[in-house]
Amino acid sequence: MQVPLELSYKDVPKIGWIDSYVAERVERLDRLSDDIIACRVAIERKQHNHVKGNPYRARVEVTLPQKKDLVADKTGTVESLDVQLRPIIRKAFEAVEKQIQKETARRRGEVKHHDEPQALVVRLFEKEGYGFIKSPLDGEEYYFHRNAVLHDDFERLSPGTRVRFVAEMGEDGPQASTVQIIDKPGVNTEEGQDETLDRPAGWENH
């Protein structure tokens, strides 16, 4: 089955090799899983971010049955589009490939849903469009961009919101992709959730 592809550009010139390279990577996704309903790829130059220089982002979003969305978001500093943009796109596709493999295993019963990493939102910069979550397992903080939040739910986040996420290593350190809200502070929407997650100080005031 050929995966429907939606490719968009923002502040990036359309270059022939980008179209062909993205198409090749999508074909690889198609061979990896027969369950992919759609694939959306966005290539953009970032205007506002804590990364200095000429930051570019490649975002890959894959839709699976039951409205399951997988998202990978990679950023890097680019001086030459022909040289440095391709690795950013490649890393985004590699990240989403790993998520597809994990989701396929989960659907086969090899991985339990509750084994997925969870964290709490600890800092949020709404105007800038990013924030940080903290994992209770290792105490690590992970940067995330609003585009990494599923279902356009960035505005629903607040300090203390519990989320699932996929941990990745970004250019500036640990970052989170495929961020999905589990519950808001004080609201438990799933049975059997681990209640050992510590709420960040001051979350009650938000």
- The CATH 2.40.50.140 portion of the chain extends over 114-205
Residue 32 CA to chain centroid, in angstroms? 19
Domain with CATH 3.30.160.100 in the chain: 5-107
pLDDT of 83: 87
- Nearest Cα neighbor of 64 from 24, 94, 93, 30 is 30
Specify whether the CB–CB gap between 128 and 143 falls below 8 A: no
Closest CA to 195 of 103, 123, 114: 114
∠ CA 4-1-28, rounded to 5°: 75
- pLDDT (0 to 100) of residue 196: 43
pLDDT at residue number 116: 67
Q: What is the pLDDT of residue 81?
A: 87
The fold of the 5-107 domain, in CATH, is Double Stranded RNA Binding Domain (3.30.160)
Question: pLDDT value at position 151?
Answer: 85
**Model pLDDT, residue 54:** 81
Between CA 162 and CA 164 the distance in angstroms is 7
Q: Which of 59, 51, 65, 53 is nearest to 9 (CA)?
A: 59
> Left, alpha or beta for 26 (phi > 0: left; psi -120 to 50: alpha)?
alpha
Q: Report residues of the chain scoring pLDDT below 50.
A: 111, 113, 186-196, 201-206
Give pLDDT, residue 10. 92
What's residue 162's pLDDT? 93
Per CATH, the number for 114-205 is: 2.40.50.140
